[in-house]
Amino acid sequence: MVIIMQTGAADSEVEAVIEAVEKAGFRPWINPGVERKVIALLGAVDAEKAELVDHFSALPGVERVTLISEPYKLASRRTHPEHSQIQVGPVSIGGRELAIIAGPCSIENREQMLEAAQAVKEAGANLLRGGAFKPRTSPYSFQGLGVSGLELLAEAGRLTGLPTVTEILHPADLKTIAEYVDVIQVGARNMQNFRLLQEVGQIGKPVILKRNPGCRIQDLLMASEYIMLEGNSNVVLCERGITSFENATRYTLDLNAIPVIKRFSHLPIIADPSHAAGDWRYVTAVALGAVAAGADGVMVEVHPDPPTALSDGPQSLRPEKFQDLMGSMARVAAAVGRHIGTLAEQA
Ligand code: PEP
Ligand code: MN
């Protein structure tokens, strides 16, 4: 249930509504809103009784009360009618400017990380990615450099001026990761690791939450709810491909997810064409499709020398290809009323 206050409702009226909500046994969650305040009632769905609608509707300053039929509340557009914009340094994810997150799958060594960082910066990316704790199918595969990788990523971020993104696998690493990077990525495999979601919800850092390939859009939104319920509303969703019968590509990018999420949620949604396609040859087409469909950004794997990459080489773009992609994306972005940094426009 959400209580929508009248434009210009007095603070005392808002406070009285909050008190009434608490008295009825619900936890209130307040969206300050641009135009009007919205108060969401958090609690069991079956407790959303019609008589409460009448009760809250009658309070002074209340414009209307609506039931939220979706099981997610904080992620719902009903609770937060405006698009959310997540600020990461100078980048506002979810605004007109697209977030272009690029860099290697794994941080491998200083030279590789710095070269990749410089290349994506020059091409116009506005965020830098690199994995230090890698979720690998095989325990014998490269697992990432851990903390020394984070140090390299932070150095590359400082040298290029780009905010950084890295994946967390275990809650025990949260404090350390938060010291080194600007955005924490919860990967596809951990989308429903609820304890991990709660932990990242307890720090203020922006979180990129990737969709698990076997989960529905609603599951992704419920996962975001776990983070937001702990007090961290800085969540960016990421569509990175779902499982299908098709095996010509690694996964199948669910392009539909972008407009569906835009309809039902206020959270920004970006796309990861690299993991979806699994082959560098398709990354450009898939990225352009995602931008055309309204994605708030893309996450692209870029490696200075993909054949030698310790993870995801086959889907990584060489810097030159990434630069071409940036030029094409800038044109598609312009066609759909979005924008990519000026460097990309010149490419
Ligand atoms: C990654 O970003 O390198 C990664 C492991 O992605 P995903 O969780 O989407 O598989
Ligand atoms: Mn990867």
pLDDT band of residue 258 (cuts 50, 70, 90) is very high
Q: What percent of the chain has pLDDT over 70?
A: 97
Å from CA of 24 to ligand 2 middle: 47
| CATH fourth-level superfamily of 2-66 | Phospho-2-dehydro-3-deoxyheptonate aldolase; domain 1 (3.30.70.1140)
**pLDDT score recorded for residue 50:** 73
- What is the value of pTM for the model shown? 0.95
Between 13-27, 42-56, 61-75, 272-286, the lowest mean confidence (pLDDT) is in 42-56
**Which atom in ligand 1 lies closest to the alpha carbon of residue 190?**
8
Between 48-62, 103-117, 198-212, the lowest mean confidence (pLDDT) is in 48-62
Reported in sequence order, the residue ranges of the chain that DSSP labels E, i.e. its strands, are 2-5, 27-31, 38-42, 62-66, 86-88, 91-93, 99-103, 127-129, 164-168, 183-186, 207-210, 235-239, 269-271, 297-301
Å from CA of 312 to ligand 2 middle: 5
What is the total residue count of the chain? Answer: 347
Q: Which residues have C-beta within 8 Å of that of residue 32, sequence separation ≥ 6?
A: none
Query: Which contiguous run of DSSP H or E holds residue 52?
Result: helix 50-57
CA distances 294 to 165, 226, 312, 320, Å, are 22, 25, 26, 25
What is the arithmetic mean of pLDDT over 103-131?
98
d(CA 228, CA 234): 8
Between 68-82, 131-145, 257-271, the lowest mean confidence (pLDDT) is in 68-82
Indicate whether residue 102 lines ligand 1 (CB < 6 A).
Answer: no
Å from CA of 322 to ligand 1 middle: 18
**pLDDT score recorded for residue 47:** 57
Ligand 1 pocket mutation pick from 153, 272, 302 by most atoms within 8 angstroms of CB: 272
Ligand 1 pocket mutation pick from 129, 191, 240, 311 by most atoms within 8 angstroms of CB: 240
**pLDDT score recorded for residue 281:** 98
Between 41-45, 195-199, 331-335, the lowest mean confidence (pLDDT) is in 41-45
Say whether pLDDT at 166 is over 50.
Answer: yes
pLDDT band of residue 338 (cuts 50, 70, 90) is very high
Ligand number, closest to the Cα atom of 309 = 2
Give the closest residue (by CA) to ligand 1 atom 3.
105
What are the residue boundaries of the structural domains of the chain, listed by start? 2-66, 86-345
Ligand 1 pocket mutation pick from 275, 299, 317 by most atoms within 8 angstroms of CB: 275
Å from CA of 275 to ligand 1 middle: 7
Say whether pLDDT at 346 is over 80.
Answer: no
Buried b (16+ CB within 10 A) or exposed e, 316-339: bbbbebbbebbbbbbebbeeeebe
Give the closest residue (by CA) to ligand 1 atom 1.
105
Mean residue pLDDT across the chain: 95
**pLDDT score recorded for residue 264:** 97
Indicate whether residue 188 lines ligand 1 (CB < 6 A).
Answer: yes
Indicate whether residue 238 lines ligand 1 (CB < 6 A).
Answer: no
Say whether pLDDT at 344 is over 50.
Answer: no
Give the DSSP per-residue string, 268-316.
-EEE-HHHHH-SHHHHHHHHHHHHHTT-SEEEEEB-SSGGG-SS-GGGP
- The 3-state DSSP class for residue 332 equals helix
Give the closest residue (by CA) to ligand 1 atom 10.
188
Q: What percent of the chain has pLDDT over 90?
A: 89
Tens-digit pLDDT profile for residues 218-237: 999 999 999 999 999 999 99
Indicate whether residue 266 lines ligand 1 (CB < 6 A).
Answer: no
Class for domain 86-345, per CATH? alpha beta
Tens-digit pLDDT profile for residues 28-55: 999 888 788 999 998 765 556 778 899 9
Å from CA of 277 to ligand 2 middle: 11
**pLDDT score recorded for residue 347:** 45
